[in-house]
Amino acid sequence: MKRIIVSFFVALGLVSCSNAQKTEFSKEALADKMLTVDGTELTFSDILKKYEGKTVVIDVWASWCPDCIKGMPKVEALQKQFPEAVYLFLSYDKTPESWAKGIEKYAVKGEHYLILSKWKGGTFSNSIDLDWIPRYIILDKTGKIALYKAIEADDEKLISTIKNLN
């Protein structure tokens, strides 16, 4: 009986650890290349340095993603509720042209970067355990990850995290 109980708690501990929230991006993610709207290539690390000292809401999206488009009104509401936060949109669009059209078509307001590594099996997506878009990540003013994963912009944890950081 003791073995069963011990085995249960060991298994529970392993599951809990695998679902633990990350507080930092991996070296691979930080080194991954992204494109600015004007065509400049930057590393993700360089992008994050630009927003040090601010609460950052990262929205991983694509203009071809129906759930991303459907969620844009929730993002706009979040921007109205927390205008002091930086809204960093990281796109998995297939081309810079489709990405630019998507930003304009859906009137996406914020800071924009195109992820240059592929979505499935790419460096950035693997490093953030990306399994769905949209995906929201919240960074505190020191650049640490305060909320690792949300898939809705009106998620209660997401909203309370931003409130606690401001």
| Interval 21-48: pLDDT, tens | 789 999 999 999 999 999 999 999 999 9
Quick one: average pLDDT of 63-75?
96
> Which is nearest to 108 in space by CA: 134, 88, 129, 93?
88
Q: What is the pLDDT of residues 74-113, one digit of tens each?
A: 999 999 999 999 999 999 999 999 999 999 999 999 999 9
> Which is nearest to 33 in space by CA: 118, 99, 134, 95?
118
> Which is nearest to 45 in space by CA: 35, 32, 55?
32
With beta carbons less than 8 A apart as the criterion, state whether 95 and 65 touch.
no
Q: How far apart are CA 41 and CA 25, in angstroms?
A: 19
**Which pTM was predicted?**
0.86
Beta bridge partners of 139: 56, 145
